[in-house]
Amino acid sequence: MAIQVGDRLPDVELQVMGENGPEKVSTGQLCAGQKVVIFAVPGAFTPTCSAAHLPGFVVDADKIKAKGVDRIICTSVNDTFVMDAWGKAHNAEEIVMLADGMGDFAKALGLTQDRTANQMGIRSQRYAMIVDDGVVKLLNIDEKGLESTSSEAILAAL
């Protein structure tokens, strides 16, 4: 069953790129006492994710933070090196590029999709959520497109 509004985020250990290489971080640490926007993409460097989803949050990061958001997190079932390179390619300095390399976070949320037919394995669904001190306040999922998971949709919901 997928996570719902009102549920507490599962505390899963993932990775971010630190100054000296990959560093472990927990979703609990990232969200404790913070208002956070988390958005997930099926894959870094994939067409829609690279052309529209991540770039929208890069452009709107200041507007989102001006609405009281402490942190913006982008996650994908990719390794730390890929997430770091993808963030750098899009100048995503204001966004935490969170690597869910084994899909543990996506699985814990119940928000996976099977992309094995396209040789992509099990990936995250495309979603965006607003989380306040670890509790989900808004959860939008897009099967196709970015109508409810774009930075614009999140800005409108804040």
Distance CA 109, CA 96 (A): 19
Looking at the annotation, which residues are catalytic? 49
Beta-strand runs (E) in 42-132: 71-76, 95-99, 112-114, 122-124, 126-132
Evaluate whether 95 touches 72 at the Cβ level (below 8 Å). yes
Helix (H) and strand (E) counts in the chain = 6, 9
